[in-house]
Structure formats: structure tokens, C-alpha cells
Amino acid sequence: MAGGRIRAKIRRSSLYTFACYHSHPSEAEGPHDIEGPGYSRMVYCNQPHMHEQKPLRYCSNYISTTKYNVLTFLPKAIFEQFRRVANLYFLLAAVLSVTPISPFSAMSMIAPLAFVVGLSMAKEALEDWRRFIQDMNVNLRRATVHKKDGTFGQKPWMKIQVGNVVKVEKDQFFPADLLLLSSSYEDGICYVETMNLDGETNLKVKRSLEATLSLDDDSTFKEFNATIKCEDPNPNLYTFVGNLEYNRKVYPLDPSQILLRDSKLRNTAYIYGVVIFTGHDSKVMQNATKSPSKRSRVEKQMDKIIYILFTFLVFISFISSVGFIVKTKYDLPTWWYLQVPDDSGYFDPRDPLMSGFYHLVTALILYGYLIPISLYVSIEVVKVLQALFINRDLNMYDEETGTPAQARTSNLNEELGQVDTILSDKTGTLTCNQMNFLKCSIGGIAYGTSSSDVELAAVKQMALDEDRQSKAGTPPSWGKGRQGSGESEIELETVITSKDEDNHKPALKGFNFEDSRLMNGNWFKEPSADVILLFFRILSLCHTAIPEQDEVTGVFTYEAESPDEGSFLVAAREFGFEFCRRTQSSIFVRERYPSFHEPIEREFKVLNLLDFTSTRKRMSIIVRDENGQILLLCKGADSIIFDRLSSYGRTYQESTTKHLKDYGEVGLRTLALAYKKLDESEYYSWNEDFMKAKTSIGGERDLMLERLSDMIERGLILVGATAVEDKLQKGVPQCIDKLAQAGLKIWVLTGDKMETAINIGFACSLLRQGMKQICMTSNVDASAQNSKQTVKENILMQISDGSEIIKLEKDPHAAFALIIDGKTLTYALEDDVKLKFLNLAVNCASVICCRVSPKQKALVTRLVKQGTGKTTLAIGDGANDVGMIQEADIGVGISGCEGMQAVMASDFAIAQFRFLERLLVIHGHWCYKRIAQMICYFFYKNIAFGLTIFYFEAFAGFSGQSVYVDWYMLLFNVVLTSLPVISLGVFEQDVDSEVCLQFPALYQQGPKNLFFDWYRIFGWMANGLYTSLIIFFLNVIIFYDQAFRPGGQTADMIAVGTVMFTCVIWAVNCQIALTMSHYTWIQHFLVWGSVVSWYLFLLIYGELRLSLNVNAFRILLEVLAPAPIYWCATLLVTVACNLPYLAHISFQRLFNPLDHHVIQEIKYYKRDIKDRYMWRRERSKARQTTKIGFTARVDAKIRQLRGRLQKKYSSHGKDVVVTQQT
């Protein structure tokens, strides 16, 4: 590209700001003193074979994010499975089943356990295999590596070794941590994008040592040898200390020469570098943590339930054992026909205690049906199917990248429905860092008719509210102003239509400005044309961007350090001031002035460039125009610029301030523009001092430069202000708004500077005008002598002051935002400070942490997770987010961006942030309720079934005899009741997906744990206890002495047991039918099919010879079916079992309905269609009160507009009264 060739000729160091003007290390400083621990790494450049033996045997460049490997899979996976209490119990039962005291065969106990554990381990293996495949996609990327004799060849990343010389070309990732040797630019600089590391899309400048600049061609590496001694591997991204010994000289190294793995080379044809750190020694991998083993809160609580049931199992087994001891000691000797004692000693009246102990073991196995072994495998199946639905949700499919949502682990599906706090990265997650120039204020006049989204939404909401009030009756505050408010309505109508009207003008990236007064040269006619000219020149000159010209279209695009700068240049181009060329000392602009149709290329000599920093909050450029006039052009934060205005430069300050406030209220990012004319003598005197300071060495250098910059930037004349709209990723404000309405808290953790993070906070409505900001900074200069204790005390004071401000606030609408930088966060995360910091943070509506390292992101996530005890979700897209993704209860990776590190470490992957709304509010809500109801139902049915065995024990002299045939018991969990409960876990919906989004407050049922709290769990257990009592005793009462067969015979044990089991099947399947809210043919088929399958089994089993062994031959056809009492008992018991639950849910829906009950009734009677007003009213009530999000912002704007209207109507009323009196 032609633009690329132009840039290559420029020595970029000529364009650097004063902050970059450090004397070269080789000339100004000696080598670093790096002796001692922590600085032992030796790298022999271009000699990788030297690192193959100890003590220099460094790790390979192979990386892995898997939980297991070939050797650790079996032990770790088995440990994971037997962390589950139920599995541990059934392992013990399986061991005991091989002994003679077991009431069941060994195979009937071992086979289910092996099946459940094997299936779960297979699922773990499959999910880890997917992680392994993704790892290998990275490990097998190709890199260009020096082989020998100046020749380079391709090598996979995983084969790269320490000491290798690597050539990286434009838009490629760095395969390891490299020392920059040279680049395609003659002064050895290159541009690097570190989005995967620190979240910033702004390009960073890296510069090689002058000593290695000559290594700029493949052939020059034929004889290249050097030695690097540097720090050992560590996670600090922004520091590096080392020395390079080359050509018998030693040169100090610093971070400006280091290229980190997973950064990307930009705007540079190629670079050469030598590998210093590989694989898990690289800084990005040092910031990663091992893949944790995560378990959901529901699963942890399920373990507690199993502990309770196990305790209950031991208790009833103990009761059974005591009963058996009593029977053995006192009754067995009289029962001569039993021939006791037996040879095994299990029934010995002479030693009843030992017999009782044997019976205790038998009872522990016999009553094992209280603890459902199939629960785990059923949950595994359900979670896999739920994950399949998540993966195939077309509403979470990104068509641009062709990327679907991906549940990388299904263990945490229900956790998605219990999230309390979301911790989000910014760049690449919330934003795409694209700005649109929307409005401006020049010479006190506002330009730009386009409306921001906040303006548009506020007016539409007011119109909607007005419509509602007209139906319900107009309040006095509105009624007074209905007349005479035409002007206001016209203004509001303008706001609405400015965006809604058809506009066939093609969209222009970075420019969404509409105002004919400034376009197409019309600004010549404006009264302040000279001020407008200065405004456009500041836009086109005050920057550090590089132009690139498209060879086909001839249109210039710009590589700028910030998106704001890029949008200003696009705006200047559209206004007729096109920045087209840059040399070492000049900027060239094609100006359509004085004639718009005949552009003139003008040269402006660049004398000095004072760059933007987070401390300065402004940027200035000093240029000489073609007339020889020296101008200082400045742009920056309005508060900073206004403080530096001269007394005669404040002409437009009042009107500009008003415009800036208006722009801020509608979420636009603003900067003020000013200028100053400099006399020759004034400039040269200042420049002499500035150059001295710039070339000085020592700690005072930066302070001197800042003082001199501040001196020249005084006495400015205000020109105007800009307002740009930050281009968030599609749907981000709406998503944040919906999540806020769902009651979720959102924290932003970003590597960006504070100003950028604050602006993004405004753009995505985490911050808004009127929100009180608590900004915590350490306020400590690098050269200051403050001790660590002093800094900590200062931060504790800031925390205390912030908490006090919140406590004393009386306004119910007041909202607070906490903004903290990385340095301050270091102290805030210390053990004696962190809980106070957390208490302040949780009382704020939004929290933004700026300039945080990956490690700090993980520590903040851990603090929120452990400090609040609630579920946290971390979402990010880069390697810098891996730590917090792994630390959070749920990690979500953005897969639509470059670099897959975040996805590889995540539990769920989505293509864009906006899909998080659907993942949580719909899938999370459904999965939580499904799993919670499924587990409660599982315990209910197993208690209902298992306790009937215990009751029969008491009737059978605690003999260990079961009332049921073994085959019945084996099929109960595996076939007869398993599929309905799986259908409940997969298909159940309390409300459909659209209603979930319309009523986001429904989501709070998960964080509040309404469906899996102890009240509901014990309620289901009590229901199971009641059902077991009804099934057993009602059947015993009916069949105890009642004639059963035509001959008058009573029912035997097998007949009674089969009737009881039939009642169990009917009762539990009717119960699950009553539990379900959403039916498809699948649920009907599985629920009623399970009942039918029981009768089919009885029919088939009764015809088999196997049935003769237990006196069950033709049990259905000849014994049960002909007996009317069998059918009557089944019907009576089933109704009796389910009547209390039916009464309970009827009472609840009538007198104490839950949110979803109300919605279900509205939908059932189609009131949402017949009465739209009522439906909208219910929707407006069904959102959590929130102080963040687009809706909160619109509400604040509405309050403001209504306040203005109220004032206007009040003053209008007073005028009317005065007129009447006159």
C-alpha cells in the first residue's frame, strides 16, 4: 500500500511526545545491576541448543489449559466423582454387596454405580478433549524461525525454544515473549496492539536498541550471537529488567524493547526478535491460573441434602437394628420353625448384639433407595441436553462471524440463573472502540441535529407515559401545561424524527453528524466563520495519527492512538480539512478553503507535540502556519481547558458550558478545543528550556517537562467543544439495561486509563449525568517519599469518606459510582483493607476499576465472590481476562474477537456481550428452575418409595425382607420414573423466552434461591413422607383382611407389594404432571408412557419363568387385573397422595401468587392481547429498581424534563395571575 511506503520513510522518533523523549539507555545509562535472586535467567541468542541441558532447561512453548492429561485423568476424575457424597455411599454399598449379608445381588449394586460414574467421567473427558483441541489450534500456529546460516523457515509455535530468532510479520501474533532486535522502520520502532493483554486497542510503540538496528535482514543473523541476563519469569506485564551483552558491550533492557506473547504486530511490515520466555514462563501465561474445578451452589446444597438423608438412613437403620435385636433375643427362640441359630451366625439369640450389627449393615443397603443413585446420572443427562439447547439457540448465533454460543462445560448450567454480580472487561467485550462525531459547539453556537440514543429513548418514553396518563386520567402537573406547550412538543418531535426519517446517505464510519450549516462549505456564511476555521484546523492538526491512502478509492484512513482522534480526523475531512500527509517535521492538510470546490494543500510545520496523558488530560501541538504565525492548538477535558483560559479567551465559555452539560446528559464524550498565538521570542525562550528538560537525565525530568508544558498552555482562547458517541458493541446498552432490571450488579475491570473507562461507563449507561462519582486514587508521585503506610491510611480515609457520603445521602434517586485505579486497588486488596473497600463498592450502583492487571482482575473477582458469598460471573475476550474468568463462579469468554485465550479458559462462550442477556435471563432462569425442581422431585419420589420398605420392615419383624420384587426396585429409578424427570429438567418452562425478557425481575427467583431453599426442600421431603404413609397404610388397611380373589382368599405379600408399587408409580407420575407448567407431546408421552410401561412390564414379567421364583406368575392378568379392588385402591391412593399438593398450589395461586403465576394467568386468559395497557403496567412493575442502565438514565432524563416543564408551567401560571390582577 502506498500509505505504508510513505510511513516507512519517516523516523517516528521525530514525532514522539516529550513523554517519550528519554535518552537512549545505551548512551544515558549503564547496564542494570541484576545480581541476586529473581534475576538468574540466561538466554543465549541464536543458540537454542544451549538451553537443552540443566540448569538452563527452560519450559517448551507448548501451552495447555486442560484440567487433565493422560496420566492424571483417571485419578483426578475418580476423585471428582467420589467428592459426591451419594457416590461415596454407593461405593461402600457396592463393596458390602459382595458379602452374604446384602439383601441384593452384587451386580445390582455395582452395575448402576459403574454406569453413573463412567458416564460422568466420559462427559468430563469429552469436555476436556475440546479444550485440548483448542489448545492445539494455538500450539500448531506457524511462526518464521531462524534455522541456520541466515535462512528462516516455518515452525509450529510449540516447537519454538528460548534463544530462537523469530521474524513476525504484520497482523501476526507474537508466539512468545521476545526482545525486539529490529523492524521494517529504519529507527527500529514497531506498533503493537495489546488488546489480549491489557484490553487496550490503542497501539503501543516499541523500540529496539540502536546497537541491534543493523539486524534488519535475514542474512544478518548468520553470525549473530548475544547473551541476555534478565529477570526470572513473573506475571508483571509492565516491568522488565535485563542486560544484553552484544559485541562485547552491555546494554540495559527495559519494557519498551519487550514484545509479549499474544500481542499483535500492527502497521509494521515485520520485526525480528529473540525469544526470552516461552510457554508457561511467558508473562501472559504467568497471569493465568490453573483450570479450577467448579461446582454449582445447587450441587453443593444437594450434597447437604444427601447428608441429611444419609443421617436419616442411619437413624432408621439403627431403629430397625434395635427392633431386630429385640425380636432376636425375645421372639426368635420361640419360633422353632426358623431353625435358629443358623450356621452363619446372622440370626443368633445367644448373641443378639452381633446379629443386630449384621442387620444394621443389611438395613443400610436395604433402605438405600432413600438416596437416589440415578439422580447424578439424570442430572448429567439433563445438563448435557440443556447445553445442547444453549449451543443451538439461533438467537445467540452471530451471523457476522458464524459463531454460535457454546456451553464448554455443562456442570454450571443452573448457576447461570443465580448470578448476583457480573465482572466485565471493557475493550472487545463492551466496546468496539469506534467513535462517531455527532455534535459540536463552535463560538458559542451548537451544531448537529442528530440525536443520541438516550435523547431518543427519553422522548419516546415520555410520549408513552403521556399516552398512558391520558387513558388513566391526566395528573394536574401535566394538565396545567397542556396548553401553551407547543414549542416544547415541537422540540421533542424534532428529536424523535431526526433519527427516524429515511436518510439515504450512506453511513460513514466515525461520522454521524447532520447539520447543513457546516456541511458543503456552508460554514463560510456563518457569522463566526473565522472561529469555525480555527475549530476545523485544530481537529485536523492536533493529533499523532498516521494517514493511509487506499490505492483504489484514494480515500484516507487514519491509524490513531485513540478512537476519538480517528473520529476527529474523519470529521475534519468531511468538513473539508483532509489530513493527507505527515513528514518528520510537517503536517499537510488539504483545505477546501477559501473555495470548497478547489482544495489547497497547506503545510504546517510541527514544532512541538505535548501528548495526552491521564494526568494532563489534554494534548497540544505547536505549529507554524504558512504565514509564519506560531500557534498552540489544544484539546482536552473541559475542566482542564477552562482553567487555562485567558481573561479575554472566555467569550464563549458560558454557552459552551451549557452545551457540554447537554451533551453529557445524553451520553456523549466531550472535549474542549482552544488555541493561543505565540510570539517568536516567547516561543524560542520556552523551547530552549523545554529542550534542556527533555534531554536531562534523572527523576526530576518528567516534573520539569510537565511544569514547562503547563506554562506554555496558559492564556488560551476557547474555540468550542466536540461531542462524540462511543460505538459500543451491538446491543450492549440494551443488554446492560436488561441485566440491571433483572437485579444484577455490573462491575467493569479494565486495563484502560480512568478517563476512557469513565467515558465508556457513560456510553453503556453504567454512569450517567447526576450520578455522584467516588474516584479513588493513590495521589502519590513516583518521586514522593510517602511511605506505604501513609498511602494506605490515605486510601482508608477515602473509603471511609465515601461510605459516609453514601450513608448521609437523603435523596432516594441518588446514585453513586465507585471508580478506582490499579495502583490504589493494590492497597485496597490488602487483607486489612479489602472488606472495607468491598462494603463501599457494594453500596455503589456501579463500580469501575481502571488500569488493573490480569492478576488484579482475578483478585477483585475472588474478593467479590468470597466477600459477598454470592454467585459471580466474569466475562472477557482476551488473555488478560483469563484469571478472572477462572476465578469467578462462572466464566464467559467472548469468541467473536481475535485471540481465543478467554474462550479456552471459559465455561461458556458467546460471540458478543449482548448474548449474555439471553444466556442469563432466559437459559439461566430456565436451567435453575428446571434443575431445582428436578432435584426436589427426585428426593420426593425416593422418600415416598424408600420409606414404604421401612414400614414393611416393622410389619415383618425387622427381618430384612422387602415387600417389593427385586426387579421392581431395579427398574424404579432406571426406567419407570427416570424419563419424566429428565423431561422436566429439559423442557419445563414457567414462562416462554419472550416473557422472560419482558419481565426481567423473574430472574431474581434464582439469586434469591426461591426454588431450592430449605423451606421448599423440606416441603418436598414432607410431601414424600406423606405420600409414603398414604401408600403403605392405606393399602394395608384395604388389603389386610379383605377378600381379594374370587375364592375369598386374601392378598399375599407379592400381590400387596405389586399394588403398592403400582400406587407409587401412579402417585409420583401424577405429581410430576402437576409440577410441570409447560407441556409438549414429549412430556405427555414420557409421563404417561412411564405408567403404561409399568403395566407392560408386569404383563411380560408375569409370563416369564423368572416370575415363578417369587410367586408372581401372571401377576397382572390372573391376579390383579380381575380384582376390582386393585383398580379402586390405585385410584383412591393416587388421589389421596396428590390432593394436598393440589390444594397447596391452588391456595398459593389464589392468595399468594409468585410472579410467574400472575404472568401464566394473564397469558392463559389472553389478557396480554385484550388489555395492552394492563400488560404494559405489569411489565413496568416487573423490573428491579435500578440506578444503572439505559432505563435508569432515561428515567433520570424524564425527571429532569418534567422538572423543567413543571417550572415552565408554574411560571406561566404566575404570569396569568399577574395579568388578571392587572
Lowest mean per-residue pLDDT among 1010-1014, 1031-1035, 1201-1205, 1213-1217: 1213-1217
Q: Residues 136-153: pLDDT tens digits?
A: 888 999 999 998 888 899
Q: Report the alpha-carbon distance of residue 10 to residue 533 in Å, rounded.
A: 29
> Each residue of 1134-1161: b (16+ CB within 10 Å) or e?
bebbbeebeeeeeeeeeeeeebbbebbe
Q: How confident is the model at residue 717 (pLDDT cuts 50, 70, 90)?
A: very high
CA atoms within 13 A on the CB side of 619: 19
pLDDT for 697 equals 53
Lowest mean per-residue pLDDT among 575-589, 872-886, 1174-1188: 1174-1188
Which phi and psi angles does 671 have, rounded to 5°? Answer: -140, 145
Which phi and psi angles does 536 have, rounded to 5°? Answer: -65, -35
> Each residue of 511-535: b (16+ CB within 10 Å) or e?
bbbbeeebeeeebeebebeebbbbb
**Between 645 and 995, where is the model more confident?**
645
* Sheet of 142-148, strand order: 151-156, 142-148, 165-169, 270-277, 177-183, 258-259
Percent of the chain residues topping a pLDDT of 70? 82
Sole residue written with cell 463393596: 95
Lowest mean per-residue pLDDT among 191-195, 489-493, 609-613: 489-493
pLDDT for 609 equals 86
Peptide bond preceding 255: is omega within 30 degrees of 0, i.e. cis? Answer: no
pLDDT for 3 equals 39
pLDDT for 477 equals 39
Sole residue written with cell 506473547: 261
Q: How confident is the model at residue 1181 (pLDDT cuts 50, 70, 90)?
A: low
As to burial, measured by CB atoms within 10 angstroms (0-12 exposed, 13-18 middle, 19+ buried), residue 1105 is exposed
Peptide bond preceding 55: is omega within 30 degrees of 0, i.e. cis? Answer: yes
Q: What is the mean pLDDT of residues 4-8?
A: 37
Lowest mean per-residue pLDDT among 1005-1009, 1025-1029, 1052-1056, 1073-1077: 1052-1056
Does the pLDDT of residue 87 top 50, yes or no? yes
> Each residue of 300-312: b (16+ CB within 10 Å) or e?
ebbeebbeebbeb
pLDDT for 199 equals 54
CB 215 within 8 A of CB 224: yes
Q: What is the mean pLDDT of residues 1080-1109?
A: 84
Q: Report the alpha-carbon distance of residue 195 to residue 358 in Å, rounded.
A: 67
Lowest mean per-residue pLDDT among 5-14, 275-284, 307-316, 693-702: 5-14
Q: For residue 909, give the DSSP letter.
A: E
pLDDT for 179 equals 93
**Between 586 and 727, where is the model more confident?**
586
Does the pLDDT of residue 325 top 90, yes or no? no
pLDDT for 1064 equals 93
Q: What is the mean pLDDT of residues 409-423?
A: 89
**Between 39 and 759, where is the model more confident?**
39
Tell me, letter by letter, the H, E, C secondary structure of 822-861.
HHHHHHHCCCCCHHHHHHHHHCCCEEEEECCCHHHHHHHH
pLDDT for 711 equals 92
Which phi and psi angles does 446 have, rounded to 5°? Answer: -85, 135
Which residues, other chains included, contact 968 with Cβ-Cβ below 8 Å and sequence gap of 6+?
Answer: 1057, 1058, 1061
Percent of the chain residues topping a pLDDT of 90? 25
Nearest to 776 by CA among 814, 823, 839, 808: 823
Q: How confident is the model at residue 165 (pLDDT cuts 50, 70, 90)?
A: very high
The catalytic residue among 177, 198, 393, 425 is 425
pLDDT for 19 equals 35
Q: What is the mean pLDDT of residues 518-525?
A: 89
Residue 848 cell numbers, joined = 469501575
As to burial, measured by CB atoms within 10 angstroms (0-12 exposed, 13-18 middle, 19+ buried), residue 561 is buried
pLDDT for 1156 equals 79
Q: How far is CA 411 from CA 6, 61, 305, 414, 824, in A?
A: 55, 31, 19, 8, 36
Q: Residues 551-586: pLDDT tens digits?
A: 788 888 887 777 788 889 999 999 999 998 877 678
Mean pLDDT score of the chain, rounded to an integer?
Answer: 80
Nearest to 959 by CA among 420, 467, 362: 362
**Amino acid residing at 1138:** N
* Positive or negative: CA dihedral 440, 445, 446, 449: negative
Which residues on adjacent β-strands are paired with residue 264?
173, 193
Q: How confident is the model at residue 25 (pLDDT cuts 50, 70, 90)?
A: very low
pLDDT for 704 equals 85
pLDDT for 445 equals 93
Q: Report the alpha-carbon distance of residue 974 to residue 315 in Å, rounded.
A: 27
**Does residue 1052 carry a catalytic annotation?**
no
Neighbours of 7 (CB within 10 A): 21
pLDDT for 1211 equals 63
pLDDT for 696 equals 64
Nearest to 1178 by CA among 1145, 1155, 1195, 1196: 1155
Q: Report the alpha-carbon distance of residue 709 to residue 223 in Å, rounded.
A: 47
Residue 48 cell numbers, joined = 537454542
Sole residue written with cell 427426585: 938
**Amino acid residing at 321:** S
As to burial, measured by CB atoms within 10 angstroms (0-12 exposed, 13-18 middle, 19+ buried), residue 359 is buried
The pairs formed by 1005-1009 with CB atoms below 8 angstroms and a separation of 24 or more are 1005/417, 1005/925, 1005/928, 1005/929, 1005/1154, 1005/1155, 1005/1156, 1006/417, 1006/418, 1006/419, 1006/924, 1006/925, 1006/928, 1006/929, 1007/418, 1007/419, 1007/420, 1007/743, 1007/870, 1007/871, 1009/297, 1009/418
CB 454 within 8 A of CB 667: yes
Lowest mean per-residue pLDDT among 482-486, 586-590, 686-690: 482-486
**Amino acid residing at 422:** I
pLDDT for 1192 equals 67
Does the pLDDT of residue 205 top 60, yes or no? yes
pLDDT for 14 equals 38
Q: Report the alpha-carbon distance of residue 610 to residue 707 in Å, rounded.
A: 12
DSSP-assigned states of every residue in 253-313? E-GGGEE-TT-EEES-SEEEEEEEE-GGGSHHHHT--PPP----HHHHHHHHHHHHHHHHH
Q: Report the alpha-carbon distance of residue 1012 to residue 928 in Å, rounded.
A: 9
Does the pLDDT of residue 1173 top 90, yes or no? no
Q: How confident is the model at residue 719 (pLDDT cuts 50, 70, 90)?
A: very high
DSSP-assigned states of every residue in 435-459? EEEEEEEETTEEE-----HHHHHHH
> Would you call 674 helix, strand, or coil by DSSP?
strand
Q: Report the alpha-carbon distance of residue 243 to residue 251 in Å, rounded.
A: 6
* Sheet of 203-207, strand order: 203-207, 189-193, 264-266
Computed on alpha carbons and rounded to an integer, the radius of gyration of the chain in Å comes to 38
CB 280 within 8 A of CB 55: no
Nearest to 185 by CA among 272, 300, 106: 272
Residue 428 cell numbers, joined = 472487545
Range with top average pLDDT, 7-16, 385-394, 509-518: 385-394
pLDDT for 30 equals 55
pLDDT for 488 equals 34
Lowest mean per-residue pLDDT among 227-236, 245-254, 456-465: 456-465
